[in-house]
Homo-oligomer: A and B are copies of this chain.
Amino acid sequence: MAILVVGSIGIDLIETPFGRAEDVLGGAASHFCAAASFYEKVNMIGVVGTDFPQEYLEYFRSRGADTSGIQIVEGRTFRWGGRYHLDMNTRDTLYTELGVFADFHPLLPDSYRSSPILFLANIHPVLQDEVLEQMSGARLRVLDSMNYWISSTRPELDRVISKVDVLLMSEEEARQYAEVPGLVTAARKILERGPRLLVIKQGSYGALLFGKDGSFFAAPAYPLEDVRDPTGAGDAFAGGFIGYLAQAQQRGALTAADFKRALVHGNIMGSFHCEDFGMRRLKTLTPEDIAARYREFLNFTHFDPDWVNGSMA
């Protein structure tokens, strides 16, 4: 029950007040694959240049991913450089070089077409729509985007959002897209546009899940002592969230309980990913680490329900 992902694959330069990493594997599809592959097989769609290190393709394959949908095109791979400020919440983009990504059009190997779950990672909404149109059989379609597409390609983004089941947004993006300051109102307005579920990512505050049926769930963030590199944390979040759903789907139709647990798995994978540069932390991660952090989440979010029958009720 593989997950199909389409998104950027790149080579990053990361600078933080605490360190620097050059020529590291980056891009939304890469970060997603690194996390989701702990749960399910990932079928990757993307493009790289002839300069793309073979070891990065081998890394994807070592994670069990199918890379036959990654086109290798004459030219340079997409490259991005970023510098984080002292608070690690804000960053400056040092450069963006599209390279072969500029003329990218996704091509789906026939073997990908049966993937029941589709993740349209952050790329141009027209490219997201091209994949969506070729994957009409998918049972769960999840979309991520970013502030740039909201302001520059709004009609195209509206169209693709109207066709998906689940939308992921940061809280700033949700406010920007809905044009209201309050998140509850923003969520309702966004859900009127199509998706039945909206996930609002709040970074170091956790994540919220809003349902078109009025349902709500909140998962606080894991209390990390040090954030070493937040790059790709949102994609690793998507990897945990969608990876868990792909697993759960094998046991039957997805339930509200599955989506709650998926939100927690999103937070878990996002938190691990921030603990080191690039994919470094996920390379040493084990299923036992994930299970242990899941138990920690249970412990620091659950409280005794007895009170409602207590002295005050």
Contacts and interface: CB of A to CB of B under 8 A. Distances in A.
A260 B303 contact: yes
Interface residues of A, number: 53
Interface string A172-216: 000000000111110000000000000000101110100000001
A261 interface: yes
A182 B182 CA distance: 26
Interface string A85-101: 01110000000000000
B311 A291 contact: no
Given A88-B181, A184-B223, 20 more contacts: A39-B312, A87-B181, A182-B225, A182-B226, A182-B227, A183-B204, A184-B225, A216-B223, A216-B300, A217-B303, A218-B300, A220-B220, A244-B307, A257-B303, A261-B304, A264-B303, A287-B312, A290-B312, A295-B305, A301-B301
Interface of A: 38-39, 86-88, 181-185, 202, 204-206, 208, 216-221, 223-227, 244, 247, 250-251, 257, 260-261, 263-264, 287, 290-291, 294-295, 298, 300-305, 307-308, 310-313
